[in-house]
Amino acid sequence: MKDAQKKYLTEAGLRIQHEGFTVCEEKDALLPVEWAGSPICNVNGNGGMSYDPEQIRKEGLDDALERVREIVEDTLTYMRHMETAPPLLADGLSGDYRLLAEYNGAVLAGHQTRYGVQFITWDRLQDGTLWQGHYFNAGEGIDAAKRDFTARSGLVPGSLRREKCSYIEFKREGPVIADLAETGPSFFILKEGKQKNDQIF
């Protein structure tokens, strides 16, 4: 198993455990997951899942399986970005921090720890130093960090933060901000400090 797959399984296991599931010891490059003593699925290092559909139906574990699937997919997405993201460079910063997004003086970074990936948002000052870090661990996770990044960067105006559901997704072309407006979601792709607005139907 490759190093990236091991890191992924470790991170997925931590996140799944945090949600109250039992994660058993890895066996044959598979991570067994249980709920209330009942096996749900096995997760592999590529984000795939294997399970017995009949057992899931019989024991009423459909919702539990779906929650594990969401965690597995979400974790795979940000772990791939952690692997390819450039290092975050700033005065006084040591350790392996990865730059996931930067816009309008706001920075979103990820840092691998033994307790899982920690996400941090900072303000970058004109001299390049980072200021006022907000730290998000497994419990709050990437979703809370993305919301904080959109607020700090000004991508979502203060008056809209409570009125609309906004989130950030990571796509191949870079971070994408989605604003779920009444007319449908609008996506803002951040590249080189500029934003491009594409209406999605």
**Is the pLDDT higher at 19 or at 156?**
19
* Across 133-141, average pLDDT: 81
Q: What 3-state class would DSSP assign to 71? A: helix
Is a pLDDT exceeding 90 seen at residue 24?
yes
Residue 60 tokens, joined = 């009423």
CB 100 within 8 A of CB 81: yes
Are the CB atoms for 11 and 31 separated by under 8 Å? no
Residue-wise DSSP of 9-51: HHHHHHHHHHTT-EEPPPBTTEEEEEETTEEEEEEETTS-EE-
Question: Tell me, which fold does domain 3-82 have in CATH?
Answer: TATA-Binding Protein (3.30.310)
Mean pLDDT check: name the lowest of 47-61, 121-135, 137-151, 177-191.
177-191
Is it the case that residue 156 has pLDDT exceeding 90? no
* Sheet of strand 97-103, all strands in order from the earlier edge strand to the far edge: 97-103, 106-113, 116-124, 130-136
pLDDT bin (cut points 50, 70, 90) of residue 184 is very low
CB 83 within 8 A of CB 47: no
Each residue's pLDDT tens digit, 36-93: 999 999 999 999 999 999 999 999 999 999 999 999 999 999 999 999 999 999 988 8
Delimit the CATH 3.30.310 region(s) of the chain.
3-82
CA 75 distance to own-chain centroid: 6
Q: Kindly report which listed range (16-20, 175-179, 188-192) carries the lowest average pLDDT score.
A: 188-192
Map residue 68 onto helix, strand or coil: helix
Q: Return the closest-CA partner of residue 77 out of 95, 100, 106.
A: 100
95 has pLDDT over 80 = yes
Q: Which pLDDT band, with edges at 50, 70 and 90, does 201 fall under? A: very low
pLDDT at 168 over 80: no
Query: Please, which residues have CB within 8 angstroms of residue 32's CB and are 6 or more apart in sequence?
Result: 23, 24, 25, 39, 41, 42
User: CA end-to-end span of the chain, whole Å?
Assistant: 40
